[in-house]
Structure 1
Amino acid sequence: MNERRPVSARSPAQALFRRLVLINGLVFTLGTLILAVSPATVSAPVLLTEIPVLIVGLALMLTANAVLLRRSLAPLGALTALMQRVDLLRSSDRLQESGNGDLNDVVATFNAMLDRLEAERSTAAAHALAAQEGERQRIARELHDEIGQSLTVVLLGLKRAVDRAPEELCEELHAIQETVRSSLDEVRQVARRLRPGMLEDLGLIASLNALAADFAGMSDAQVTRRLESHLPELGPDAELVVYRIAQESLTNVARHAKASRVELSLCRQPGGVVLRIADDGRGGRITEGAGVRGMRERALLIGARLSITSPPEGGITVQLTIPVRPERN
C-alpha cells in the first residue's frame, strides 16, 4: 500500500518560484561581493579597458545562473517524456525522485495520479471483462439449450420423414439432414468457444490442446504444441486469461497471418509461467486493435506482462508471462 505523503505547506509552483528567486539572488549577490572585494574598478564613464572585465563578470554570472537553473529544472524534462510515452495498458514506469525537494512533490503527485488511474482502469476492466464473460456464458447456454435442441428436433423429424418418404425424395432429404447436422456442429463449436467448459472440467492443458486442434481444423497451418503438464497453480482467473489470450492469438493467426507453422507453448521459466504463440506468417507492423487491447487488459488483471513482437525473420510472437510465487519446500 502506498504511504500517504504529508501535504506541503506551500504549493509546488510557489516552491519552484522561491527556488528560482533564491538561485538568482545568490548568483547576483556573489557577483556583487566578488566585484566589491576584487581590485577591479568601474569608472564613470566606463573605460575601454574595463569593458572586458564587465563582459567576463556578466558571462560568469549568466553561466552560473544557467547551470543552477538547468540542474534545478532537470526533472521537468523527464516528467514531460514520461507524460508522452505513458500507456495505462502497458507495464507502467515511474519517475524516480531526484532529490530536488521543490520538484519532488510534482513527481510524487504525478506518480500517484498514474497509480490511481491504473487502479481505476484495472477495476473498470475487471467489471467489463466479468460482464463480457457472463454474456458469453448466457449466449453459449442459449445456443446449446435452445438452438441446439431445436436443430436436434429438426434432425429427428427429418429422420422420420426419410423413413416414410418415397425413394425419389430420399436423396434430397439426406442432403438436408447433412446440412442441419453440419449447422448443429457449428452451433456447438461456437458455444464451446464462447464458454470453455473444458477449462473447468479438464483443466488448462486439455483446453489448450482442444483449442489447438480446433485451430488446426480450420487452418492449413501445422501446429506444434509444447505444453508442460506440471506447472505451478495459476488459479481460475489466470487460467481463463491464458486461455482467452491463446484463443485470440490463434484466431488472429487464422484470419490474417497466412502462416504455415504455428507454435503454441506453455512452460515454466525463471520469470514465471510463459504462454507463447509464434507463427511464420506475414508479420510486419503490429496494429493494436480491439483484440490486442483486450488481451492487454486481461493481462493487467492478473499482473502479467504481455509482449507482441514481429521478429526479423517474419511472423508474430505473442508472449504472456504470468508471475508465480516461489514454491515453499
Structure 2
Amino acid sequence: MALRRSLFWRVFAVNAGLLGAMALLLLFSPVEIDAPIKPTQALIVVGGLVISVIANALLLRRVVAPLERLAQRMETVDLLRPGQRLPVGRSDEIGRVLAAFNRMLDRLERERQESGRRVLAAQEAERVGIARDLHDEVGQVLTGVLLQLNSIAETALDHREELDEARQAVRRALDEVRRISSELRPEMLEHLGLVSALTELSSSFGRVSGVRVDREFRSSLPKLTPEVELAVYRIAQESLTNVARHARASRVTIALEPGHDSVVLRLTDDGRGFAGAPEEHGGLRSMRERALLVGGALAIKEALGGGVEVRLEVPTADVAPALEVS
C-alpha cells in the first residue's frame, strides 16, 4: 500500500510531525517550563495545542465528510430509483469504500430487476390462470343456472316474479365474473392494442365507480413492445383503482400521447390529493417497479388545481429493453 494513499499513514504523519515539532521546540529553543508556569510559557503550550487540534480537525473533516455522505445515502437509497451513486474523487481507503458501495448498488439493482421480472411474470401467469378458471368454470356454472331458471320460469307461472329476480341476480353475477376476468386477462390488449384496451378499461371504471372519465388518446402513437404495453395497462389499472379507493374524485382524465422516442401516459383526477408527501408502498411501489422493469419513468405528484397526477413515460419498441414480463 503506497504511503501517499494510506489514510492511516497520513493521520500518523500529521500527528508525528506536530509532536516532533513540539519536541524540537522544547529541545533547541530557550523555552523552559517552570512551576508554577509563567504566562508566556502557558501561551506557547496553548498555541501548540491549538495548532495541533486545528490540523487534526482539518484532516479528519476531509476524511469524515464523504463517510457522512455515504451514511446519508445508505439510509435513503431506494433500488426503485436507480442511479443514486456517490462521486468517487479519491484513491485512498475512503475512495475504495465509496467505489465498493457504488458497485454494490449496481449488483443490487440488477438482482432486484431480475427478481422483479420473475415475480411479475409469475403474477401475470397467475392472473391468466384465475381468469381462465372464472371464465370456464364459474361462468359456465352461472350460465347453466340461468338456463335452468329460464326453463323453470316457463312452467312455474305462480313464481314468475321471484324467478325474474333470481335471473337478474345471476345475470349481474355473470357480468361481474366477465368483468373481473377481462381485468385479470386483458385479451383486448392482445388483439386490439393499447388504446382499445385503455378505452374499455376506463369505460368499465366509469360505469362501476360513477366517476366521469375524459379520454385524450392521440390517433397516431409509436409502436410499443407487448411487455411495455402490458406495463402501461397495469399502471393505468392500478391508478384508476387508487382513484376509486382513495381520491374521492368526480372526474378523471386519462391521456396517451407520443414523446421523444417514447409514449407518455397521464392520468389526472380532481380528488382530495395527498395529505403531505405520498408514502409509496403497496400499489404505488408495484407501479414504480413495473415502470422500472420496462425502462420507463414514473412520476406521482400533486395535480394543478388539486388531485393527483400520474405520469408514465415508456420507451418505444425501437429503444425498449428486451424483457420477458408477460
Q: Into which bin does the TM-score normalised by the smaller protein fall? A: 0.7 to 0.9
Q: CA RMSD in A?
A: 2.6
Summarize deviations over 1:229-286 as a string: whole Å, max 9, x none: 4223221111111100100110110122110111111222348322221111111233
1:299 aligns with 2:288: no
Unaligned runs of 5+ in 2: 320-326
The aligned counterpart of 1:119 is: 110
Given the alignment, which residue of 161, 167, 174 partners 1:184?
174
Query: For 2:13 and 2:311, how far apart are their aligned partners in 1?
Result: 52
1:194 aligns with 2:184: yes
The aligned counterpart of 2:322 is: none
Is the 1:284–1:314 contact (alpha carbons within 8 Å) kept by the matching residues of 2? Answer: no
Summarize deviations over 1:80-124 as a string: whole Å, max 9, x none: 110111112234411110225221110011111112122212211
1:96 aligns with 2:76: no
Which amino acid in the other structure matches residue 211 of structure 1? Answer: L
Query: For 1:93 and 1:151, how far apart are their aligned partners in 2?
Result: 53
Aligned residue for 1:233, secondary structure, equals coil
Aligned residue for 2:136, secondary structure, equals helix
Which amino acid in the other structure matches residue 300 of structure 1? Answer: L
Query: For 1:25 and 1:258, how far apart are their aligned partners in 2?
Result: 69
Aligned residue for 1:262, secondary structure, equals strand
Which amino acid in the other structure matches residue 302 of structure 2? Answer: S
TM-score (norm 1): 0.86
Given the alignment, which residue of 29, 37, 42 partners 2:31?
42
1:237 aligns with 2:227: yes
Bigger mean CA offset, 225-234 vs 125-134 = 225-234
Bigger mean CA offset, 287-296 vs 136-145 = 287-296
Which amino acid in the other structure matches residue 274 of structure 2? Answer: G
TM-score (norm 2): 0.87
Is the 2:223–2:317 contact (alpha carbons within 8 Å) kept by the matching residues of 1? Answer: no
Is the 1:266–1:275 contact (alpha carbons within 8 Å) kept by the matching residues of 2? Answer: yes
Given the alignment, which residue of 311, 314, 323 partners 2:306?
314
Query: For 1:48 and 1:234, how far apart are their aligned partners in 2?
Result: 83
Given the alignment, which residue of 244, 252, 263 partners 1:254?
244
Query: For 1:244 and 1:148, how far apart are their aligned partners in 2?
Result: 24
CA drift at 1:219: 2.0
Is the 2:86–2:102 contact (alpha carbons within 8 Å) kept by the matching residues of 1? Answer: yes
Query: For 2:66 and 2:208, how far apart are their aligned partners in 1?
Result: 54
Aligned residue for 1:98, secondary structure, equals coil
Given the alignment, which residue of 219, 222, 225 partners 2:209?
219
The aligned counterpart of 1:5 is: none
CA drift at 1:138: 0.5
Distance change >3 Å, CA 228–CA 19, structure 1 → 2:
farther
Given the alignment, which residue of 281, 286, 294 partners 1:289?
281
Percent pairwise identity:
46
Is the 2:11–2:59 contact (alpha carbons within 8 Å) kept by the matching residues of 1? Answer: no
Which amino acid in the other structure matches residue 42 of structure 1? Answer: V
Distance change >3 Å, CA 322–CA 58, structure 1 → 2:
same
Query: For 2:318 and 2:181, how far apart are their aligned partners in 1?
Result: 37
The aligned counterpart of 2:121 is: 130
Aligned residue for 1:136, secondary structure, equals helix
Aligned residue for 2:295, secondary structure, equals coil
Which amino acid in the other structure matches residue 302 of structure 1? Answer: V
Which amino acid in the other structure matches residue 318 of structure 1? Answer: V
CA drift at 1:27: 4.3
Query: For 1:221 and 1:93, how far apart are their aligned partners in 2?
Result: 39
Which amino acid in the other structure matches residue 268 of structure 2? Answer: A
How many residue pairs match? The answer is 313
